[in-house]
Structure 1
Amino acid sequence: MPTMHARPRYARSWGVLAAGAAVLVTATTVGAPSNAAGSDSHGDRHRKHSRYEKIQILSFNDFHGNLEPPAGSSGRLVTGHTATGADTTIDAGGVAYLAKHLQLERQQARKQGRHTITVAAGDIIGASPLLSAAFHDEPTIEAMNKLGLSVTSVGNHEFDEGWKELRRMRYGGCIDDGAGANNQNSCAAHRFKGAKFDMLAANVKWSKGKHRSLLPSYTIKKVGDAKIGFIGMTLKGTPDIVTAAGIKGLTFTDEVKTANRLVPKLKRKGVKAIVVLIHQGGVPAQQSYTLPNGTTTQVNPTYDYACSQGGSLIAAQSPILPIAAKLSPEIDMVVSGHTHQPYVCKVKDPKGHYRLLTSASSFGRLITDTDLTYDKVKGDIVRTSVKGANLPVTRDVTPSPTLLSLINTYENLVRPIASKVLGRISGDVTRNDIGEGEQPLGDLIADAQLADPTTAHNGKTAQIAFMNPGGIRADLTAANSPYGEATGDVTYDEAFTVQPFNNYIVSLDLTGQDIYDLLAQQVTGANAGSHKILQVSNGFSYRLGSTGAVDGSVTLNGTPISKTATYRVATNNFLQGGGDGFGAFTKGTDVYYGGLDIDAFADYLQAHSPYTPPTTATRILP
């Protein structure tokens, strides 16, 4: 059974562990100890003849191109709580700090005679800040090469620009994109050579042909004398949360069946030590906290709360749990992601034996350090030896100069795009709920999409616009002035941080019944457990009930919509393809693609400057 992981070097909180297309085979030893790292020849001879090999696996997930230290809550970790129950936090993340912490962990491992490898569980790129996205995420791939990533699974966001672009990320090459004509510039610094690390997509198959995988299904790494197989997968539900056009011709298969079918293949190659890297995850249970007066309240969990510090296993409805419980008993541990949550937990395999399940939050704020013993006689991991903990990527170390140099190169290249002022806001425009799920920033984005002239088609202009809340990634803060601009000025960088996907705005015809179906899908079906309230444009309103819009309450410019009439609707191509469980969008007819969402947002800000956000809900009514 996994046990507590503790080392004396850092004063940190340690988690108590209660609970394809081609095959890549790497013959190179990863992380071999050296005399410079603290080994001596006598110790090396002893380990060479020892039955057991000590291994360190460092892992992270959901980096999302955060090269610079992420700001606000995205760049903090909850470490505890005050007497009033308020969070105490530390700043964390930034690729130069991530690289330094990885270096320090590897050095410590090698001094202790352990071999080491660094792996990840998807969404390394996509939904990235402008510094990476302006260059098609090439800087992030280069950063991963420099910090020593060996292998990752793909996640859903690796498909943001489509499968062809994902393969370019792996194998390299340049895009003829007009040298920044659309605020993106491939190969701006030099020719892009692609990833030096393996990218795995075991459950992403070509729909036709021999059902081969888009990228390799697994890779075998020699870590010291140990041979470890890594199987990489994204979540089966990826088609529901990415743009349909970007995955055309692909099929996403069941995670458990896919991994379990690969186990015999690995065993036939003499590999019994198997690790799954999967882009699907869980959510820690809420943390209870007792105030000095004896009152118990619910607080935000600390980064090491799940399965530790009194915390229970991650919430029972977490989608990773049934996957982890059904994976073959031959699989020794599971590195997960997608939910941006921190946990180091134990789960039982089908034979009732415990194995480790980990996730390192997001944006490079945590590293999971897993230690294990490899039995060279059996050729397998000693399951009871597996132990791990999440380690904060603090900013109190000297950042990696190599990564700082990379960041500086791209900061200079992106500055002319990033610093352009688009307009002004009179106050903060936030994602805060001002009633029934309506958000001030959601109102602004929906209005911008409605006003976008590029979606006009066949003499028809949009009457209603819908925006998915998950596509709104940050607030607009009036006081934020990264380029020295005046208070209230909104730069392209800030606007892009709000909408980083480069989605197209699409217009289409929907019937009134289709619109009622859309509004019902916010709180039913795939969204019954976690509601997704669409943001809507000015002039459109309705009353929200437990199963959708109250019948007869849906109006356009004060007039109830007719379920048999046709309306012209604008939205992004993600929703138009049925993303986020909104299948009613796929019933649309006369579909027409306009310009990019970020351009519509920028144009609207310029035309309505200074913009004053609403303070009460006027579109979604109780």
Structure 2
Amino acid sequence: MNRWRAWAAGSVDKGCGRTARGAVVAVVGVAAVLLAGCGALSPAPEVTRPDHLDITLIGFNDLHGNLEPPRMAHTVNGPAGPVAVPAGGMAYLASAIAALKARSPHHAVVSAGDMVGASPLVSSLFLDEPTIEAVNTMRIDFNAVGNHEFDRGWRELLRLQQGGCEKFTARQPCQISKPFAGAQFGFLAANTVREEDGRTLLPATGLKRFEQGGATVTLGMIGLTLRGTPSMVSPAGVAGLRFEDEAATANALVPQLKAQGADVIAVVIHEGGSTTAGVQETSCAGLSGDIVPILERLDPAVDVVVSGHTHQAYVCDYSRVNPAKPFLLTSAGQYGTLVTDIQLRVDTRTRRVVRKVARNVIVQGEAFTGAQGPVPMTAVVPSFAADPQVRSIVETYRAAAVPLARRPVGQAAGALRRTPSPSHESALGNLVADAQLHATRAPEHGGAQLSFMNPGGLRADLVPDEQGLVRYGQLYAVQPFGNQLVVKTFTGAQIRAVLEQQFASGSNTVQRPRVLSVSEGFSYRYDLSQPPGARISAMVLHGAPLRDDMPVRVVLSSYLDSGGDHFTVLAQGQDRRVGALDLDALEAYFRDRSPVAVPATGRITSAGRTAH
């Protein structure tokens, strides 16, 4: 039984009676040491009750299995001007968290989701077991699961929590660790509910109690997954689940936590926003995003909101935005490059938070050379040594992955990037669409005539080395999900409807469209000044106008095939044929077409009011 499950199991023998536990609870502090002598006959010395107790809440989010430094930098102001600080790497993140813990005997560590999923090869190849093992060594308390924790389905998510080697994916679990022990911290998902019985898939809340000098303070935590998760993962991965409103779920749980003795309430949510403030500023300047309407409806009894999902870094006293909502809102960016240090002072008489401040700490660990040149270490901000235990885990899995990652697959004529053009297509998206069409064009492979590729499925740019060489690990970084290719027949009218959905797909409105890249030989025009249903025109397929009654064989990923990204029309279609993995198709394209040219981005034309 792992450490987290031991706390959740029911009662804990402390040597002087048993303490019942109906929730996920941990107790730390001086009083736990004093209890060791509670069986003695002599009275304990009188202890002066403190008038306050300080708690350090440590947060991070959107780690995405980045075991190795992600070759990213954060810019800060130094004595001589802006300075780029190299950041990230889980061995350094572990040391940064340990340093923050060492400053306070009363601490809790939480992750706001997407700890795993869309991960680099060293973690993803092993079903993210390495990331869970590395985080176990950090001794964190809770992770509020995000949308990417469902990438391989909810049963695989439960395996990561509980351990074991049951196979739920095409990849083999327990390749290195036999058996895999599972997470020794709690996964929380208060608004993820099983439709069959209305129970949450994972625990909704957690408690952690702190004791000092006769005073006890309890921190209650609510973990939330963003409500839009079903539109971001394969529907099969969340079948049988519903994702309820975030604010309503949290508000219903606040009085329950209060009844269990919680003095401080923290909401840990995989949803977020952005600000115009710098990484080390503590300002709400320009705060926007989907987190804002949630905050506006959240119970003001909440003290802290640790957020994620948008990969943005911010620390914001939300009372500056709305005085009736005195939350402290934080996010630590992405990939373990930052960790948030949240300081809470609790009045032990009123049992209320009387002071709360936070800052984002850059996880500076090692220098690197990027596209813009060397990024050296700097003394402007502190640096951290690599944690030896985490480094050992990373090295073990890296050694197992390197032979595959370094295998050459072909050459490219230039950098293939995800940067969107004015019409929101990208060179890399067009390349992947072309590769999918290439793999399925032959009649025996499906007879595809057109390919669609969603931008969210592209997780890294593809940049060849000085000799133009591209390696397997780079392709894997671009497409780490392991989707299969699916070929189906659609009418021209259905294709038009799909393209209309780009501008009306859930939260992705005309201001933030999710434009599909298309394969060579297909083109069209959109005009956002026209009403919905009349925005798409001039569809041409291989030199001929595409009529509404014309049947077309279309290849797409299994993610889009199931209606992912709100493209519900793509779940329709006839004569479905399942083919190879998307990654295998991309590798075959490099093998057959090297050196691969950089595709032009003129397949889609925007007119009238452009998207932003």
**Shared fold (TM-score, shorter chain, > 0.5):** yes
> 1:186 aligns to what SS in structure 2?
coil
After superposition, residues 64-79 of structure 1 pair within 5 angstroms as 64-71=64-71, 75-79=72-76
Shift of 1:592: 3.4
User: Given the alignment of the two structures, is residue 619 of structure 1 paired with residue 603 of structure 2, yes or no?
Assistant: yes
Is 1:312–2:285 an aligned residue pair? yes
Question: 1:461-610 maps to which residues of 2 (within 5 A)?
Answer: 461-479=447-465, 487-526=467-506, 527=508, 528-546=510-528, 552-610=537-595
Residue of structure 1 equivalent to 2:37: none
The Cα offsets for residues 527-548 of structure 1, whole Å up to 9 and x where unpaired, read as: 2221222111111111232258
1:373 equivalenced with 2:345 (yes/no): yes
Q: How many correspondences in the alignment?
A: 550
Residue 126 of structure 1 pairs with residue 123 of structure 2: no
Q: Is the 8 A contact 1:464 1:537 kept in 2?
A: yes
Inter-partner Cα distance in structure 2 for 1:319 and 1:82: 36
Instruction: Classify 1:454/1:400 alpha carbon distance in 2 versus 1 (closer, same or farther; 3 Å).
Output: farther
Residue 11 of structure 1 aligns with which residue?
Answer: none
For 2:601 and 2:184, the matched residues in 1 are separated by 50
C-alpha contact 1:183 1:417 (8 A) present in aligned 2: no
Segment of structure 1 superposing worse, 254-263 or 47-56: 47-56
CA deviation after TM superposition for structure 1 residue 32, in Å: 9.1
For 1:48 and 1:599, the matched residues in 2 are separated by 67
Mapped contact 2:524–2:604 kept (Cα < 8 A): yes
Structure 1 CA distance, aligned partners of 2:347 and 2:237? 43
**Alignment partner, residue 117 of structure 1:** 108
SS at match of 1:386: strand
Aligned to 1:99: 94
Encode CA deviations 1:165-224: one digit per residue, 9 max, x unaligned.
00001000114589xxx6755332432100000100110000112x00001111111234
Aligned equivalents of 2:322, 2:267: Cα separation in 1: 15
Quote the residue 2:336 is aligned against: 364
SS at match of 2:327: strand
Conservation of the 8 A alpha-carbon contact between 2:155 and 2:168: no
Letter paired with 2:394? I
Q: Could you tell me how far apart the structure 2 residues matched to 1:32 and 1:578 are? A: 54
Cα distance change of structure 1 residues 478 and 346 upon mapping to structure 2, 3 Å threshold: same
The TM-score with structure 1 as length reference comes to 0.83
TM-score, length-scaled by structure 2: 0.84
Q: Residue 393 of structure 2 aligns with which residue?
A: 406
Secondary structure of 2:278's aligned partner: coil
The answer to whether the 8 A contact 1:454-1:595 is kept is no
Larger relative contact order (Cα-Cα within 8 Å, sequence gap ≥ 6): 1
2:253 maps to 1:256: no
1:28 maps to 2:27: yes
Structure 1 residue 96: Cα displacement? 0.7
* SS, match of residue 125 in structure 1: coil
| RMSD after superposition | 2.9
Query: Does the aligned pair in 2 maintain the 1:135–1:186 contact within 8 Å?
Result: yes
- What letter corresponds to residue 59 of structure 1 in structure 2? G
Partners in 2 of 1:588 and 1:479 — Cα distance?
A: 41
CA contact (8 A) 1:59 1:119 kept: yes
Runs ≥4 in structure 1, deviation > 6 angstroms? 30-35, 44-48, 454-457
Q: Check whether the contact 1:152–1:199 (CA below 8 A) recurs between aligned residues.
A: yes
Contact 1:93 1:366 in 2 (8 A): yes
Shift of 1:551: 5.1
Which position in structure 1 is the counterpart of 2:379? none
On the 8 A contact 2:296/2:325 being kept in 1, the answer is: no
| 1:460 to partner: Cα distance | 4.2
| CA distance in 2 between partners of 1:46 and 1:539 (Å) | 83
| Mean Cα deviation higher: 466-475 or 580-589 | 580-589
Separation of aligned partners in 2, 1:249 and 1:509: 28
Distance 1:59 1:523 in 2: 34
Shift of residue 595, structure 1, vs aligned partner: 2.6
Measure how far apart 1:302 and its partner are.
2.7
Displacement of 1:108 in angstroms is 2.3
What is the aligned partner in structure 2 of residue 484 from structure 1?
Answer: none
CA shift for structure 1 position 350: 8.9
CA contact (8 A) 2:144 2:270 kept: yes
Q: 1:274 to 1:462 in 2, by over 3 A?
A: same
CA contact (8 A) 1:542 1:554 kept: yes
Amino acid at match of 1:446: A
Partner amino acid, structure 1, of 2:423: E
Three-state SS of the structure 1 residue aligned to 2:553 is strand
- CA distance in 2 between partners of 1:350 and 1:429 (Å): 44
The CA deviation at 1:589 is 3.2
Distance 1:92 1:229, change over 3 A: same
Change over 3 Å in CA distance of 1:34–1:560 after alignment to 2: farther
Residues 169-180 of structure 1 mapped to structure 2, 5 A cutoff: 169-176=160-167
**Matches of 1:454 and 1:269, distance apart in 2:** 61
Structure 1 gap ranges (5+): 1-21, 36-43, 286-300, 481-486
Per-residue deviation, 1:611: 0.8
**Distance in 2 (alpha carbons) for counterparts of 1:203 and 1:196:** 22
| Unaligned residue ranges in structure 2 (runs of 5+) | 1-20, 35-43, 366-382, 607-612
CA distance in 2, matches of 1:51, 1:45: 19
2:392 is aligned with 1:421: no
Asked if the contact 1:326/1:350 (under 8 Å) is kept, the reply is: no
Name the SS for the 2:293 alignment partner.
Answer: helix
Q: CA deviation at 1:574?
A: 2.0
Please report how far the alpha carbon of residue 451 of structure 1 lies from its aligned counterpart in structure 2 after TM superposition: 2.2
Q: Deviations over 1:36-88 (max 9, x none)?
A: xxxxxxxx9998621321110010000000000002xxx121325999xx975
